[in-house]
Amino acid sequence: MSHLQAGATLMVQGTTSDAGKSTLVTALCRWLQRQGVSVAPFKPQNMALNSAVTADGGEIGRAQAVQAQACGLPAHTDMNPVLLKPNSDTGSQVIIHGQAVGNMNAVAYHDYKRVAREAVLASHARLRANHQVVMVEGAGSPAEINLRANDIANMGFAEAVDCPVILIADIDKGGVFAHLVGTLELLSPSEQARLKGFVINRFRGDIALLKPGLDWLEQRTGKPVLGVLPYLMDFHLEAEDAIDRRQVSKADQVLKVVVPVLPRISNHTDFDPLRLHPQVELTFVGPGEAIPPADLIILPGSKSVRADLAFLRSGGWAAAIDRHLRYGGKLLGICGGLQMLGRRVEDPQGLEGPAGGSDGFGLLHIDTVLEPHKQLRNVSGRLCLEDAPISGYEIHAGVTAGAGLQRAAVRLDDGRSDGALSEDGQVMGTYLHGLFESSAACSALLRWAGLRDVQTVDYHALRERDIERLADLVENHLDTAALRALCGLDEEAR
C-alpha cells in the first residue's frame, strides 16, 4: 500500500462548465484507489438538479455519488456539503449537509454564503481526518469575476484550505489555449501560484500536431501541461446537469421512448440506462419541438411540478398524451411525473413557487400535497408488473394519496407500497428514481411498453467499466509522477 502525507487535498478546476472536471476527478479517484490509497471525493458547492440519496440519509449531486463509487465508498453528505437546486431563473432550494434549509434568491444566498462556508470547511476537515487524499471538484470556472466575492466553489475554497489546483479545458469546444491562458490571467497572484498545471481534455488526432501549442503554453505561462486526454468513444458517465441529446446507433428493432425536457427537469440521469440500451431509441423533446410518435412517453422528475405542468400543457403535451394513449401507447411518470398524472397537485405553502394548486392530467386517481419535509430514502422492493426485483431512491416533498394507490407499481421491502398502475394497465407512476438501473425491472418495464425479446443490460457493470477506462487514461496519458507529488505521495515508500 502506498504511503501518503495525511490529509492531502488536490483540486480540479475547469475553464468552463462541462470542461471535464467531474470526469477527471472520477478518474483520479479510481487511479488512487487502485493503488490502495484511501481517497474521497469532494465538491464544496454544486448547482444541479441531478441528485442522489446518501448512506447517511441526505442529498448530494449525482456526480459525487459516482466519484464515491470510484473510491469504493458509500456516498456521504460530506462529499457535497452545499447543493443548490434551481427552482426558478433567480432562486434555488439550498441544501446544507444533505438537508434542505429553504429557498433563496441569488442576493439572499450571497449573504448566506458565510454559513455555507462553515459547512464546507467542516465537511472538508472531516474528510481530511478520515482519508489520505481528498480529491476536490470545482464548479463552473474560477474566472467568473462576478462570483469571486465570498467564493466557496473554486479558488476561494482552495485559498482557504491551501491546496494545489489543476486546471482542465475541453479542446473539443475550440479555443483551448485562449481558455487556459485567459483563465490564468484573471486569477490573483496567489491563485496563479497555486495552479500547478494544465490538463487538456477530449483531444482527437495526432498528438504531434498539438505539440507546438503545448510547448508555447508552457513557455507562455510557466506552468506544465500534465497531459492530454483523448476523446473517448462509447463512453458514458452520469452528467452533473446537462442533458446529452446525441442519438446512438441502435439495433433494427427498437422501442421508441420520448421524454419532454421540462424547464426544471430533475434527475434526468434516470434515463441513462435507456440511452445505453441497444433496443431503445430515447428522444428528449425540447420546447417548441414536434412530439414524435412513441411506444412509451415518460414524464420525468421536476423541481417545480406545477410550473412544469403548465409548460407541458402550453406545449401541446396534453393532446399528444391523449392521442398516444388512444392508440395504445404506454405512459410512465417518475416522481414529479407521477404527481402530474394525478388529479391535483397542491402547494399550499408555496414551496416550489406561488402558493396554490393545479389540475393534473387526471389519469391516475391520486392527489398530491407538497409538504416542507422532503422524503429521502434508498429503497428496494419488487416491481408489481412481473414481480421483478427493483432498487432506487426517493427524493420528493409530495405526499400522495388516493384510491389509485391500491394498484401499486412497486411493493417495497420495508412494507410500504409505491406508485400506481391504472386499471387498463396503460399508465404507471412511481416515486422511484434510478428504476431503470435494476436490470430485471428495466427489462420488465420495456416488455410492458411493448418490446419483445428484451436484451438484459447490466448498467452498473457498464458504469464500472467506464470508471476503469478513466483510470487507464490517467495511467497512460497524464504525468503520474507529478500527480503523485501533488497528492502528497511518498515516492521513496513506493
Owner of C-alpha cell 484511501: 38
CB 432 within 8 A of CB 334: yes
Parallel, antiparallel, or unpaired: how do β-strands 427-430 and 344-347 relate?
A: unpaired
**H or E stretch covering 477:** helix 459-477
- Cβ 413 vs Cβ 469: under 8 Å: no
Contact between 15 and 179 under an 8 Å Cβ cutoff? The reply is yes
Name the catalytic one among 433, 442, 477, 487.
433
Question: What's the 3-state SS for 187-199?
Answer: CCHHHHHHEEEEE
Handedness of CA 329, 335, 339, 342 (dihedral sign): positive
Asked about 335 being catalytic, the answer comes back as yes
- Per the structure block, which three cell numbers stand in for 479? 504525468
Angle between helices 21-34 and 459-477 (to 10 degrees): 80
SS (H, E, C) 44-105: CEEECCCEEECCCCCEEEHHHHHHHHHHCCCCCHHHCCEEEEECCCCEEEEEECCEEEEEEE
Which of 284, 242, 262 has the alpha carbon at shortest distance from 140?
242
The phi and psi torsions of 439 (rounded to 5 degrees) equal: -60, -50
Separation CA 137–CA 153 (nearest Å) = 8
Half-sphere exposure of 113 (CA within 13 A, CB side): 16
What is the three-class DSSP state of 485? helix
Dist. CA 70–CA 33, nearest whole Å: 8
> In residues, how long is the chain?
494
* C-alpha cell belonging to residue 255: 422501442
Question: Which entry of 29, 71, 163, 335 is annotated as an active-site residue?
Answer: 335
Which residues are known catalytic residues?
Answer: 335, 433
